[in-house]
Amino acid sequence: MTLTILGSLLIAFSPQGGGQANPRVSIVVENRGTMVAELFPNEAPKTVARFVQLVKSGFYDGVRFHRVENAPRPFIIVAGDPLTKSLPITDPKVGTGGTGTRLPFEKNNVQFLNGTLGLVRDVRDKDSGDCQFFICNGDQRFLEHSYVGFGRVIQGLEVIPKVQVGDKIATIRVVN
């Protein structure tokens, strides 16, 4: 009886059983490779909805990684600032751009492990996330409950440490 109920639940919540699979995005970084990330709408519904909306609009195509923190150890890579499309990567305004939308902080239990996607925000205001995001380069558990984790790279983890400041996102596309 228990196995039957468990089996029914697994079928009901599997993609084949009519349940909704988590969205996935393909992130193509010019001259570095492709990452596939699974997004977590159950953990961060507003953040994922906004990220997917921006992806579908082509917002991230051509955006450059403007921050790569590797010292004293690998930390994060950051992209999503629309100013990186038009300004030199060294311009002091780079890293301050956005869409003007403020996303509320969505406290969740996403672990900030290698490949986790998080929403960039002002350190003084948890409700200041917009369009910039970071990807953890290694486990960064101290970020948990301070930043919104909304996805994780499930393919192409080897791309993360290759990314350098100025590298361009060719495309980000929803792949399911």
Domains of the chain as residue ranges with CATH: 21-174 (2.40.100.10)
Looking at per-residue confidence, does 15 or 68 come out higher?
Answer: 68
Confidence of residue 4 (pLDDT cuts 50, 70, 90): very low
Determine the length of the chain.
Answer: 176
Q: Identify the pLDDT of residue 36.
A: 99
Q: Identify the pLDDT of residue 19.
A: 66
Q: What is the mean pLDDT of residues 85-102?
A: 98
Which residue's entry shows tokens 């228990």?
2
Q: What is the mean pLDDT of residues 16-43?
A: 91
The amino acid that residue 102 corresponds to is: R
Strand locations in the chain (E): 24-29, 33-39, 67-69, 76-79, 116-119, 133-136, 149-155, 169-174
Confidence of residue 152 (pLDDT cuts 50, 70, 90): very high
Q: What is the mean pLDDT of residues 18-41?
A: 94
What element of type H or E holds 155? strand 149-155
In this prediction the pTM is 0.89
Using an 8 Å Cβ cutoff, are 31 and 167 in contact? yes
- Distance between CA 50 and CA 70 in Å, rounded? 28
